[in-house]
Chain A
Amino acid sequence: MKRLSLNVVIGGAIIGTVVVGAVLGAVWTPYDPLKIDFVGRLAPPGATHWLGTDEFGRDVLSRLMAAAATSTLISLSTVVAAGLLGTAVGLVSGYVRGWTDRILMAFNDALLAFPAILLALGLLTVAGANSYGIIVALGLAYTPSVARIVRGTVLSLREREFVEASRVMGNSELYTVLRHILPNCVGPMIVLATSMFGWVLLAESALSFLGLGVPPPAPTWGNMLAASRPFIAQAVWLAIFPGFCISLTLLGINLLGDALRDRLDPRMRGAS
């Protein structure tokens, strides 16, 4: 294994921390994230509550960890959903070509033509503003991007001689797609999944910030940030920590994504 680049080291460290926090947040937190305690409200970071308490007296650290778990779960579900749907569409479109491709891509491009957040907002009005609604709305909003990229990869793979060789050997089209094309899509798909995880996390936070995401009292970093606004003058820590968590996680994802792209893409071009 070559010397690990700085991107991987820092990105990996960040994501590792976040993952630990998220996993922990799902099973154990220092305090109950929902437990209200009006007496200790708006306490600055200290010995008992490491990161302070919010306007209801709830422990900020615990809420951050629970939020990590929620956001990660939602984002993962969305990436998987959009990934599966988009790959299916892209695979069929790219390999079959002809009118199937034209029609699928016409719809795909029309959906792509909506800014993703806008489409998600639109879908949310139908799906309802809760966890499942977000997964559906964001999943559908990002499916066209996945389909486009998978289709592009399939198109270029299709012209590679080892695919022609498979056909000459007498293998069925289905076999060729499953055995030769799909496995070679894995590289770009991993890079895409990493980037998408970042976009979805950001979108989910933004939607929660607007009040259209996971409804309170369940915490996400976005709605914690939104709730901090009235108290921003007195309890500045309420605004700092959630935003910091989002930024740090996104930074980690971006660094890892960059490193992955460097590693995986050149080999896809067949450099010897």
Chain B
Amino acid sequence: MEITLSQILDQLPAAAPANLLLLGGLLLLSIAALPQSMRTSSLARDLLGWTAIGFCIAACWAARAIEPSGSVVGSLFQSDAIRSGGSWLAALVGIPLILLAWHRMDGLRIAEHLSMVLLMLSGLAYTASASDLVSLFLGLELVSLPTTILLAMTRRDGAGREATLKYFTLAAFSSAVFLFGLSYLYGIAGDTSLAAIGRVLGSPLSLMGWMGWGFVLAGLAFRMTAVPFHFYAPDVFCGTKLPMAAGLAVVPKIAGFLALMRLLDGGTRGPEALTFSSASIAALSLLAVLTMTVGNVLAMVQKDFRRWISYSSVAHTGYLLLGVAAITSLSASWAPILFYLGVYAAMTIGLLAVWALDQGDLQQPAPMDRWNGLAYRSPRLALAGSVALLSMTGVPLTAGFWGKFQIFSSTIASSDWIVRAAAIAMAINAVIAASYYLGVIWRFFEPAQETNRPRVVAGGWAEGGAVVLCTVLTIFWFLFP
């Protein structure tokens, strides 16, 4: 298939939110080339930040405003529900990420930092709009390359270098594995369009098909931090700064799930909706159960907040994977997954922002008992942290309840007994998770240990804004799911 430039230009509106974010990223990157004196003042910092947020808001608007119109044959991008929801989510997640970085980055690199964040988000939006293997891969790479740069840029000590190197090698490796799998699938389908790939995945898989699907899943599992490719996450979390940890917890996961949905979607939509073989549903469910169990059990024993939150994010990957399995078996709408991703982002970033305001950055070891006594130090922060933690537990009055609820309802609707058994496993896991999430809330009320408390670097209003935004979203999405 030959794609001309004019064809690509015709398809640009389908990926309008992604293009907007890309444009913003490039603009900020060109500002970074200006002389230092022009971009290091606090006024410049505010201007840059507001510009970045402006682009995010514009992309949010564009994602909602451009009506889904379906895909064109031979196109790179398509405009459907995943595109709208995914790129809206990407742009929305950007706002608290930018707010977190606002005061924490030194003036010299703020422009680069924000531009890389926007590029990363545009990668997410491209992944959400992809309708071809090529554009899908491009989108994924546009997520992981700026992530590596950001890791290298934010922290330059030994731990930072270790994290960067680890992430870079593994990202490159997983991309290679992903591509390798895609080549098998392409070989079977004879076409790079995602509709054709989806049909291959939807029909009973041959041995070659299983190999391809297995490699693709492994490549994506790295991004989603699914077991057994989760092990890098805690180390990388420990080796970076807080704004970047928030980004790492959220952005690659969204990217992985968007790509997974895109790959499976071709089979569930399309002219002839296929019933996925129960073997591939079972494979996804087993991966899900394994991921959530490992994540929860390991999170329970963590003593360091950074490792704790990374294992908790592994557990959430497991819940999401189960949702993907159930929805695939039903050929239903992907809305529950997108909703859960949004909720996950809000509560995780919210909790990290609470930490940032209370404790400063994550550079030093961050033992869990630093949370002790938060309710006495700052009742408001304790309230926001409790909202985030209750949402992670899945208690009503927080959006996390609807997130888990929708996944549960998809599993109940699915008649596959493996999915239902996995739902029981998820319920048990949610109870385990409740024990350590509520454990943190209980820490808020325990007397604080004032020994070697680090000096808190004032975060400023932007971090407060991130806390407020995430908390409000977590409650708002409960009331209006």
A and B bound?
no
Residues of A within 8 A of B (CB): none
